[in-house]
Amino acid sequence: MSLDASKWIPTHWTFRNSGVAEHFDQHVREQLPWYDLATNAVAHFGWHFIPRGGVVYDIGASTGNIGLALKETLEQRGARFIAIEESREMAARYNGPPKLAIADAATFDYEPFDFAVCFLVLMFLPVDTRATFLRRLESLIKPGGALVVVDKVQMPAGYLGTAFSRLTLQHKLAMGAQPVDILRKELSLAGYQRPLDAALLPGRAELFFQLGEFAGWIVVKPEH
């Protein structure tokens, strides 16, 4: 059943909002029908790249979706998992594996890691911090390790870009989202969410997913 977003979507979007946190899990699946598909892809890569005793980060963890998807691999490999979430309202609803750090992901004191995930995070970071943040994360990947990024991206110019945007809208409507709620959410995101310029990603980033305005990449650090 579609949510009545008029009751809880703020005029100016923020994750530091109890209504947003309360409705997040259902809302994100209604607005992004591919959400679980991309989550499963992340879990698949985690199975391939998380070593025994490895270090794993979920950067921008929200309510723990990625951690839950990785849980079996984390337990089987005895890996150390750290979820990072800035919003205390979202953190209060976190249901993933420990541990959870309530902190700004952009300034967090990371250690070198074997596997890290930025799932719908970069589009909410200030534009002038993204390139530095991505370079920093790339420098911390251990040899043979990986960084996964799933995010909203800038659309191509012209009619093709229009078609990509309409594909996202079509899927939202197919999932039962009400047109007025789609519009309300889009307007609330103004000035807060800005698509990622894919050119900022490391040169060896490999595209593994794209649907409309959203895409996913994996960056693997060479073993030597």
* Domains within the chain, CATH numbers bracketed: 1-224 (3.40.50.150)
Work out the pLDDT band at 5, boundaries 50, 70, 90: low
> In this model, does residue 170 exceed pLDDT 60?
yes
Q: What is the pLDDT of residue 1?
A: 43
User: Alpha carbon of 52 to those of 48, 76, 219, 221: distances in Å?
Assistant: 11, 8, 20, 17
Q: What is the pLDDT of residue 220?
A: 98
Average of per-residue pLDDT across 150-163: 93
Tokens 């089987």 sit on residue: 76
Q: Are strands 214-220 and 141-152 parallel, antiparallel or unpaired?
A: antiparallel
> In this model, does residue 122 exceed pLDDT 90?
yes
**31 compared with 93, residue with greater pLDDT:** 93
Average of per-residue pLDDT across 137-158: 96
Could you report the per-residue pLDDT of 24-57, keeping only the tens digit for each? Answer: 888 888 888 889 999 999 999 999 999 999 999 9
Q: What is the pLDDT of residue 4?
A: 59
> In this model, does residue 119 exceed pLDDT 70?
yes
Please state which of the ranges 26-35, 74-83, 90-99 shows the lowest mean pLDDT: 26-35
Q: What is the mean pLDDT of the chain?
A: 92
> In this model, does residue 2 exceed pLDDT 60?
no
Distance between CA atoms of 222 and 224, rounded to whole angstroms?
5
Could you tell me the pTM of the whole model?
Answer: 0.91
Average of per-residue pLDDT across 136-158: 96
Distance between CA atoms of 149 and 125, rounded to whole angstroms?
13
